[in-house]
Structure 1
Amino acid sequence: MYHEIHGRTDAGAPTVLLCSGLGGAAQYWAAHIAALATHFRVIAYDQNGTGRSRATLPFGYAIADMAVEVAALLGNLGVRRAHFVGHALGGLIGLQLAVDRPALVDRLILVNAWARTHAHTLRCFAARKSLLSNTGVAAYVQAQPLFLYPAAWLADRQDWLVEQDAAGIAHFPSTETVLRRIEAIEAFDLTAAIPGIVAPCLVVAARDDVLVPYTCAINLADQLPEVQLKLLEHGGHACNITDPVGFDALVKAFLLPA
């Protein structure tokens, strides 16, 4: 898989792996690289089937397969232990990795993630799948920001939205790939295994997330043995994008020694 390595190169440098949501691309974390690279060796990657990691995904492709791919990537890079920061689907991958390969995960930051996919989220994805299958890529891409960002934040960024739409359409993976990634999200249920996760976790959620109810984060935190919960009043599903400085401060406070 395509990956990038930024920041510290010394032998003792702690590693942070950044894992994106449904879009899957390393570019999602661009606003955070500089702030984290001062303190960490930072790895960002394009998940299989997305960005520059073009691949045909098999039938039944699951979050567990994505976790295997991450473990293989870290193994190929000689990383035996890493902090993991995951947004939405990326958080699900982090949870799965912490269950399957606990020695590999040092600390885990979960942003608008969940233990089991909520009925509201399933309804949102049903609408998005319908747009993609029945109306086309452009309609799907143009609708995507409505699920990711608060309305007031979007209203002031119309030119940026036009640029994002054009890039999203130009670099869109195959419809089949996106549908299989959504199906993996829909099937996710790690409820039974989450109480066994040993990695310390920071669960971050925004109360105004329209895709994933913030109550999912509360439920997730209630099941994790060692956890901090941070509920943001504003920020939407992509709260790290709407407030990158605030998000970076949360990450560094949780990962860096006092």
Structure 2
Amino acid sequence: MTALHYEVHGPSDAAATVLLSSGLGGSAGFWQPQLGTLVDAGYRVVAYDQRGTGRSPAALPEAYAIADMARDVIEILDATNTAQCHFIGHALGGLVGLQLALDALQRIASLVLINAWSKPNPHSTRCFDARLTLLSASGPRAYVEAQPIFLYPAAWCAEHAQRVADEVDHAFAHFPGETNMRARIAALRAFDIDARLADIAAPTLVAAAKDDVLVPWTCSQRLADGLRDVTLDFMPHGGHAHSVTEANAFNRSLLDFLSRVSAPAQSTVPA
């Protein structure tokens, strides 16, 4: 199996480890707005490029599933001698966290789910249909040019035009290929653990922006209604990537949650 690229930041003797899992793009770089904040707060932080993306190249099988992505996280936890982590996932990354909490709850100290969901919904299905049609008809460049429309509020995109243009260029230069993209989208579209939400005991922060144009905020409300131990944090604006566009407000909420659920127990497995 191809090795996964991961990075470890912060003190090696930290009392708690945070693992960051990105959305559809799969890149550890998505978490730049949170990385320094978490390290400064004393956390050991693990970030990784998901299999088949970025610095973790691999040909994904057609039947690739969120459960496979959860097993990849266990591989990273083992490789970094991490017995238990605070898992933070954005969108698809949040689905990976939910699956991991069902498959290996002992590895999860807490969950942070950002604009995530427990079952498919017709609006997001329509969005992904449109994105896949664009990919087929016009190719990767058109696909990544449309990506900011789904990630960010229009006003933010206009205000940060050069940053958005740079991100689009980077996404095009590192596009994982149509086959891998289709496999990843198929995995998130097939994900449905709605009937098992009550089985997840880990304390969870459910964070969502009400102006997310890709994933309705009601999906996060459904998570909050179904999970057993929930803190719900709705923001009025910020879009699908509000952890980027409203990073300061999101980081305050994140640190507050982590400070309440972080245990002083050792976070690493003895070598």
Query: TM class by shorter-chain length?
Result: over 0.9
Q: Deviation per CA, 1:64-103: give whole Å up to 9, x if none.
A: 1100110111012111110000000000000000010000
Within a 5 Å distance, the mapping from 1:109-148 to structure 2 comes to 109-148=112-151
Q: What secondary structure is seen at the aligned counterpart in 2 of 1:193?
A: helix
- Structure 2, unmatched stretches of 5+, are 262-271
- Give the fraction of aligned pairs with identical amino acids, expressed as a percent: 49
1:3 deviates by: 0.4
* Distance in 2, Cα, partners of 1:98 & 1:59: 24
Report what 1:173 is aligned to: 176
Report what 1:47 is aligned to: 50
What residue identity is the alignment partner of 1:236?
G
> Aligned pair 1:4/2:38, yes or no?
no
Report what 1:33 is aligned to: 35
> Aligned pair 1:204/2:207, yes or no?
yes
* Distance in 2, Cα, partners of 1:243 & 1:161: 15
1:170 deviates by: 0.8
Within a 5 Å distance, the mapping from 1:44-193 to structure 2 comes to 44-193=47-196
What residue identity is the alignment partner of 1:122?
T
TM-score normalized by the length of structure 1: 0.98
* Distance in 1, Cα, partners of 2:210 & 2:220: 10
1:30 deviates by: 1.2
> Aligned pair 1:22/2:24, yes or no?
yes
1:194 deviates by: 1.2
Q: What secondary structure is seen at the aligned counterpart in 2 of 1:24?
A: coil
* Distance in 1, Cα, partners of 2:219 & 2:126: 15
* Distance in 2, Cα, partners of 1:40 & 1:101: 22
Aligned residues: 257
* Distance in 2, Cα, partners of 1:153 & 1:128: 21
What residue identity is the alignment partner of 1:65?
D
The CA RMSD measured in Å over matched residues stands at 1.0
What residue identity is the alignment partner of 2:16?
P
- Structure 1, unmatched stretches of 5+, are none
Point out which structure has higher relative CO (alpha carbons under 8 A, 6+ apart).
2
